[in-house]
Amino acid sequence: MRALHRDTGIVLGHLDETRFFTVVVYSRETRRFRLTPVPCRRPAEGAADIEIRCGACGQELLLRARSAASTARVRRRLLVVALAGLAVAAAAVVAGSLVHLPLADPLGKLVLVVFLLALPVAGAAGWRWWKEDGLRLHAATGGADRVHWRMDAPVPVRAAP
Ligand SMILES: [Zn+2]
């Protein structure tokens, strides 16, 4: 999890080339990026759009930055959802194992469905809580951008429209 400093930044990646290496059934994709560190300053409160420029091609992009307090609020909300999902999944396991609930029983089906729904909700919210840093890369044109990626994220993220 990234610390929420006022002075922060991202690493912008410009996709230079994509190569495919294929042997019969095996295929590997190799991507080469040119990286540009982009420092930025979070707003004191709320959110702000910051214009940034790609160091490789000079294209203008937008970085939507949330304040540290606002990002902390979003993180807290996501953590609550993740913990609630875990608690519901754990309660479904306890209810399913302590009280004998056969699957033919409607209550047994309900407990199984609740368990199967709560677990992915907890996982998705937990992952988003862990990687949320209040910085989003957007294409300045509003269209799809397949060239510019955010490379400092846990998983590289393409610039959003
Ligand atoms: Zn570029």
Cα(44) to centroid(ligand 1), Å: 29
pLDDT tens for residues 62-90?
999 999 999 999 999 999 999 999 999 99
- pTM comes to 0.79
Alpha helices, DSSP H, located in the chain: 68-98, 106-131
Cα(17) to centroid(ligand 1), Å: 12
Cα(62) to centroid(ligand 1), Å: 12
Cα(49) to centroid(ligand 1), Å: 18
Q: What is the structure's pLDDT at 108?
A: 81
Q: What is the structure's pLDDT at 75?
A: 96
Enter the tokens of residue 33. 């990026």
52 and 62 in contact (C-beta within 8 Å)?
A: yes
* pLDDT above 90 for 140: no
Cα(31) to centroid(ligand 1), Å: 14
